[in-house]
Amino acid sequence: MANYNFAHAWNTVAELAPERIAITCGDRRLTYADFHDAATRVAGSLADAGLAAGDKVAIELVNSPEYLAIFYGALLHGCVPVNVNYRYVGAELAYLIENSDAKALFFHDDFAATIDDSLALLEESLHPVLIVRVDRVAQYEASPNIVRYCALIEDADPHFVSGHEPSGDDLIFLYTGGTTGYPKAVMWRNEDLYRALWQMSRPNTEPPAVADTIGKGRAAATTLPACPLMHGTGLFITLSGLAGGGKVVLIDSQRLDPVRTWSDVEREGVAALTIVGDAFARPLIEALDTNPQRWDLSSLRAITSSGVTWSPDCKQALMDHLPGVVMIDSLGASEGVMTRSETRAGDTIQPARFKLSERVVVIADDESLIAPGDDRIGMVGVGGPIPLGYYKDQTKTDQTFRIVDGVRYSVPGDYATVETDGSIILLGRGSACINSGGEKLYPEEIELVVRAHSNVTDCVVVGLPDDRWGEMAVALVVTLEPLEEAALRDHCKATLAGYKVPKRFIELHSMQRSPSGKADYKILRALALDTLEGNS
């Protein structure tokens, strides 16, 4: 029986095809032998620090070979990799460290100030026992209790053998936002995530043994995740590519660099590019419009968008430049890998259309499955290999992971209807969640911060359409003195990650709440939309 564990798969590739390129990043090129060596040293360092199987390893790095070596090394020793959003401020990171029970923390030195702020907020007993700085900008003098990654790796045993055998039961944590804005760790078994990623494009089949694939000399595709590994979209495509012995191309930047992206596609012969909706597509299109003949992109076979669906006009613009490339909409969430929709040359360009299947269903309020043509509204659910639930949150686990007709489904919260042909029409999240460039923003969290300003007496945050980001957060506020947007924005930045700070602030005389204190979000959203359109 196959052992569906990513570390086991990478061990196999390193054994059978050690000179095959695993990761490139700028001028850096790591073979699978190099990848395995770095991971082995990381695993040994974790053991030396006293970590054991099941302990959590938090990773706050931009896309880089070190990110994947740490991830691999954690799995080799049976530890649980934990993603960290590098846009977090100190309070947010402190929450994640405590919530995840992280015993080790690896970070790029860009984020040193955030690390210091977070540790200052935590009791010393909650500090990770191993804190490792990975040099990138080289502007930071580490505290005595912080180890430099290069020294850690150099001193580690290159022949370390963990007493733990990588297993399908080993966990991976993927932190995602919750309904209150506090992140929750989705707990994936290696086997479930491995199989789910395979079955997304090959329903009802099982992944082949890596040894069989490599032994037959098959070359997996070269992939480039243009989005961060700290989110599921970037991580999932990377894990999938490496599990098949492919090459992953990384760009070590906190922001999308369209010119470098297309240059790396050309230089590395990238076949599959992964982005997040229009927020990524539009700058990439602009680069092609400005330099239509600059790059040879003939290697490219597919562009996948996940996290948010992308608009037909962006698909069309990309297909105008790249007529032979398949445009793929991926439907999924941290809580479940679902399905996808493909658009090819000659197809009618339209919003993503997904269909019911054995794994993907729509569940009505009465817990029945909605059949084609039934005009009820329900929530999309995915069965098959799905996560165990949320770490330390049984209530939320029971709400999201439901048993319907004897089958366990993940139901992240996407409302939908079903057409007569089985097509799923997505209506959006049931909560007031705002999806801005693939980042989930939760109004309640932002409102609490804005209301804490001494000049603000009330606040409601709504999501409005945005050409680049899909949606943007807009704060409607009632103030004591005339509104000063700059002051409110600075106030928010002191507590919230930059992507959560409202893009605009609108001053109202009254929020017109109901007698029970509830705000009418529908009316306020329309008011905000009219105000901004009137000012444009």
Residue with tokens 């968008």: 305
Amino acid sitting at position 422: G
User: Residue 252 pLDDT more than 90?
Assistant: yes
More confident residue, 28 or 536: 28
Task: Identify the band that residue 181 occupies on the pLDDT scale cut at 50, 70 and 90.
Answer: low
Residues 242 and 411: their CA atoms lie apart, in Å, by 28
What is the model's pTM? 0.86
pLDDT at position 435 is 84
pLDDT at position 53 is 98
Task: Identify the band that residue 345 occupies on the pLDDT scale cut at 50, 70 and 90.
Answer: confident
Instruction: Write out the two tokens for 171.
Output: 């966990």
Dump pLDDT digits (tens) for 307-339: 666 778 889 999 999 999 999 988 888 888 878
Dump pLDDT digits (tens) for 10-61: 999 999 999 999 999 999 999 999 999 999 999 999 999 999 999 999 999 9
On average, the pLDDT of the chain sits at 91
Average pLDDT of the segment spanning 365-380: 93
Task: Identify the band that residue 178 occupies on the pLDDT scale cut at 50, 70 and 90.
Answer: very low
CATH class of 434-535: alpha beta
Task: Identify the band that residue 218 occupies on the pLDDT scale cut at 50, 70 and 90.
Answer: low
pLDDT at position 177 is 67
pLDDT at position 142 is 60
pLDDT at position 86 is 93
Report helix, strand and coil shares of the chain as percent, to nearest 5.
35, 25, 40
User: Residue 153 pLDDT more than 60?
Assistant: yes
* CA-to-CA separations, 372 to 145, 340, 524, in angstroms, rounded: 60, 18, 35
Domain boundaries, the chain: 6-250, 256-346, 354-429, 434-535
Dump pLDDT digits (tens) for 94-128: 999 999 999 999 999 999 999 999 999 999 999 99
Helix H segments across 208-311? 210-215, 232-243, 258-268, 277-290
User: Residue 93 pLDDT more than 70?
Assistant: yes
pLDDT at position 528 is 93
pLDDT at position 432 is 66
Average pLDDT of the segment spanning 270-283: 91
Q: 3-class DSSP state for residue 272? A: strand
Average pLDDT of the segment spanning 201-224: 81
User: Residue 348 pLDDT more than 90?
Assistant: no
Q: 256-346 has which fold?
A: Rossmann fold (3.40.50)
pLDDT at position 518 is 65
Average pLDDT of the segment spanning 280-295: 94
pLDDT at position 496 is 92
pLDDT at position 17 is 94
User: Residue 519 pLDDT more than 80?
Assistant: no
| Cβ 54 vs Cβ 279: under 8 Å | no
Average pLDDT of the segment spanning 360-374: 95
Average pLDDT of the segment spanning 355-383: 93
Dump pLDDT digits (tens) for 414-430: 888 899 999 998 766 65
Q: Do the first three CATH levels of 6-250 and 256-346 match, i.e. the same topology?
A: yes
User: Residue 90 pLDDT more than 60?
Assistant: yes
Options 3.40.50.300, 1.10.630.10, 3.40.50.980, 2.40.30.10; CATH for 6-250 is 3.40.50.980
User: Residue 433 pLDDT more than 80?
Assistant: no
State the DSSP H helix or E strand holding residue 197, giving kind and residue range, or none if neither: helix 190-201
| Cβ 106 vs Cβ 59: under 8 Å | yes
Task: Identify the band that residue 162 occupies on the pLDDT scale cut at 50, 70 and 90.
Answer: very high
Instruction: Answer yes or no: CATH 2.30.38.10 is held by domain 354-429.
Output: yes
Residues 113 and 103: their CA atoms lie apart, in Å, by 20
CA quadruple 414, 415, 418, 424: dihedral sign = negative
pLDDT at position 516 is 42
Amino acid sitting at position 265: V
User: Residue 219 pLDDT more than 80?
Assistant: no
